[in-house]
Amino acid sequence: MSSPNAVSGRFAPSPSGDLHIGNLRTAVLAWLFARSTGRGFAMRMEDLDRAKPGADLRQLDDLRALGLSWDEPVIYQSDRRDVYRAVIDEMVDAGTTFECFCTRREILEAPSAPHAPQGAYPGTCRDLTEAQRAERRAERPAAIRLRARASSFTVHDVLHGDVSGDVDDFVLVRNDGTPAYNLVVVVDDAASGIDQVVRGDDLLTSAPRQAYLATLLGHRPPEYAHVPMVLNRDGARLAKRDGAVTMADLAGQGVDAGGVLSMIATSLGMADAGEPVTMTDLLERFDPARLPTKPWVFEPRPADG
Cα 178 to Cα 48: distance, rounded to the nearest angstrom: 7
Alpha-carbon span 141 to 169, nearest angstrom: 18
Kindly report the three-state secondary structure assignment for every residue of 156-173.
EECCCEEEEEECCCCEEE
Does the annotation list 46 as a binding residue?
A: yes
Q: What is the C-alpha separation between 13 and 1, in angstroms, rounded?
A: 17
Dihedral angle of Cα 234, 238, 240, 242, to the nearest 10 degrees = 20
Residue type, 257: A
Q: Do the annotations mark residue 135 as ligand-binding?
A: no
> 143-146 and 171-173: which strand pairing?
antiparallel
Is 14 known to sit in a ligand binding site? yes
User: Helix, strand, or coil here: 76?
Assistant: strand
Residue 105 known to bind ligand = no
134 annotated ligand-binding residue: no
Residue 241 known to bind ligand = no
Q: Is 13 annotated as a binding residue?
A: yes
Q: How many residues does the chain have?
A: 305
121 appears as a binding residue in the annotation: yes
Q: Is 208 annotated as a binding residue?
A: no
102 is in an annotated binding site: yes
According to the annotation, is 150 in a ligand binding site? no
Number of CB atoms found within 10 A of residue 136's CB: 17
Closest CA to 181 of 96, 77, 283: 77
Helix (H, G, I), strand (E, B) or coil at 147: coil
**From its phi and psi, is residue 84 left (phi > 0), alpha (psi between -120 and 50) or beta?**
alpha
How many C-beta atoms lie closer than 10 Å to residue 232's C-beta?
18
Binding residues for L-glutamate: 10-14, 46, 181, 199
Binding residues for ATP: 240
Binding residues for Zn(2+): 100, 102, 121, 125
Binding residues: 10-14, 46, 100, 102, 121, 125, 181, 199, 240
